[in-house]
Amino acid sequence: MRAAVWTGKEQPVVVEDVSLGEVQPNEVRVRIAAAGVCHSDVHITRGDWIGIAAPLVLGHEGSGTITEVGHDVSDLSVGDHVVLSWIAPCGKCKSCLNGRPTQCTTHANMVSACGVLHDGSSRLSWHGRPLYHYSGVSSFAEEAIVPASGAIKVRKDAPLDVICIIGCAVATGVGAAINVANVRAGSSVVVIGCGGVGLNIVQGARIAGASTIVAVDLRAEKTSLARKFGATHEVDASKVDCVDAIREILPDGAEFTFDAIGGKATAEQCIAALAVGGIATMVGIPPTGLKAEFEPQRLVDLDQRILGANYGGIVPARDIPRLVDWYMEGKLLLDELISARRPLDETEQSLRDLASGSALRQLLIP
């Protein structure tokens, strides 16, 4: 099959023929319909994160149709439409049993082992040597073998080439607002960074009933787009001091702030813009080793909190079908997030366009 392969830091992505092995117990084979290009893929190609095995097939956001099921898979069948989840919970560890699948021990061990599936091995090979999976998905390909718990069955009337982005950007953003921060009706919200994840935080806050939603970005066209998703105010951070501008809109500060970028400055701005009792949630993933500064005493005196949001705190089997339903009901915007559909051969250019800030969610169509 054809797949987009990353061979190492700052090396161009190549699209070539690779081998996909046999489906093992508790796994399924999926024919990829579409894959979303995410900033996490950009981070990998830049070498921003340590411990990433190479060579690997990129992509952790995708959708498709099941073509084969492995032994012991009872809840999925050939022909099912699925959205891929980059956390495939084991369902047996303490975190899973306590309803926190994003903290699954088996998934954590799989990630620490770098580029393998649940059994500690890869199904991919290239030029006679092992080729690694990214987050147990590797959706920049014509097919993928994934853990069965990472293939989430969804309704068949939903367009696969749209709902693929639910698997990362949408679940992460909407979930951060609703599941992690628990945004309340009538509350004030600030979202710093209006890319694919940030816009979904905005619409998550809208769905939760926030009354004031301030969209902040260095690009005015992105804050303007955020209006469609529910933003009530815009801040062009390229022209004004971000925190000062937020406090002009919300003199007492915001009850909820979100960093959708994952930078030192944006993390510090989220904390500085908080109201008394406010909650700052870190959503964007920063480069390994990056540090931010804040005053712990201020947090104590003002009863403020800082939270981390991994994958929007979702339960994939529960939340992904629900998000698909919300899209089909018109409650959740997805089409407006998609800036281009491109063939798999244009993977490298898609990554460059995303890194430049000129694109939102681009879809790769194998």
For the stretch 290-307, pLDDT in tens is: 999 999 999 999 999 999
Share of the chain above pLDDT 90, in %: 89
Q: Which residue has the tokens 């933003």?
A: 231
pLDDT tens string 157-194: 999 999 999 999 999 999 999 999 999 999 999 999 99
With cut-offs at 50, 70 and 90, classify the pLDDT of residue 271.
very high
DSSP states of 269-299: HHHHTEEEEEEEEE-SPPPTT------HHHH
As a whole number, the mean pLDDT across the chain is 95
pLDDT at 127: 92
The encoded tokens of residue 197 equal: 């994840």
For 291, the token pair is 């540090």
Average pLDDT over residues 77-86: 98
Q: Which whole number is the average pLDDT over 202-218?
A: 98
What whole-number percentage of the chain has pLDDT above 70?
99
Q: Is the pLDDT of residue 318 over 80?
A: yes
Sequence-separated contacts (24+) of 90-94 with Cβ below 8 Å: 90/118, 90/149, 91/149
The residue written with tokens 């014509």 in the block is 142
pLDDT of residue 359 exceeding 90, the answer is no
Q: If pLDDT is split at 50, 70 and 90, which confidence band does 86 have?
A: very high
pLDDT class for 109, splitting at 50, 70, 90? confident
pLDDT at 287: 86
Over residues 81-99, the mean pLDDT reads 94
Average pLDDT over residues 349-354: 94
d(CA 117, CA 97): 21
DSSP code of residue 12: P
pLDDT band at 108 (very low <50, low <70, confident <90, very high): confident
pLDDT tens sequence across 28-65: 999 999 999 998 899 899 888 887 889 999 999 999 99
Q: Residue 219: which pLDDT band, with cuts at 50, 70 and 90?
A: very high
d(CA 146, CA 124): 11
For residues 66-90, give the mean pLDDT: 96
| Whether this model's pTM surpasses 0.75 | yes
- CATH code matching the domain that covers 173-310, chosen among 3.90.1170.50, 3.40.50.720, 3.40.50.300, 3.30.70.600: 3.40.50.720
SS3 222: helix
Mean pLDDT, residues 88-97 taken together: 93
How does strand 62-69 pair with strand 124-126?
A: unpaired
Residue 84 has pLDDT above 90, yes or no: yes
pLDDT of residue 29: 98
Dump pLDDT digits (tens) for 141-162.
999 999 999 999 999 999 999 9
Residue 36, strand partner residues: 363
Alpha-carbon gap, residue 130 to 113, rounded angstroms:
14
Residue 111 confidence (pLDDT) above 80 = no
Q: Where are the domains of the chain?
A: 2-167+333-365, 173-310
**Does 122 score more than 80 pLDDT?**
yes
Q: Give the domain 2-167+333-365 fold.
A: Quinone Oxidoreductase; Chain A, domain 1 (3.90.180)
Q: Is 161 exposed, middle or buried, given 0-12, 13-18 or 19+ CB atoms closer than 10 A?
A: middle
* 293 HSE (CA, 13 A, CB side): 0
Predicted confidence (pLDDT) at residue 112 exceeds the cutoff of 80: no
- The 3-class SS string of 149-163 reads HHEEECCCCCCHHHH
pLDDT digits (tens, 9 = 90+) for 240-251: 999 999 999 999
**Alpha-carbon distance values, 222 to 127, 198, 268 (Å):** 42, 10, 21
Phi/psi at 160 (5° precision): -60, -30
Distance, CA of 328 to CA of 305 (rounded, Å): 35
Q: Are strands 62-69 and 56-57 parallel, antiparallel or unpaired?
A: unpaired
Mean pLDDT confidence for 197-203: 97
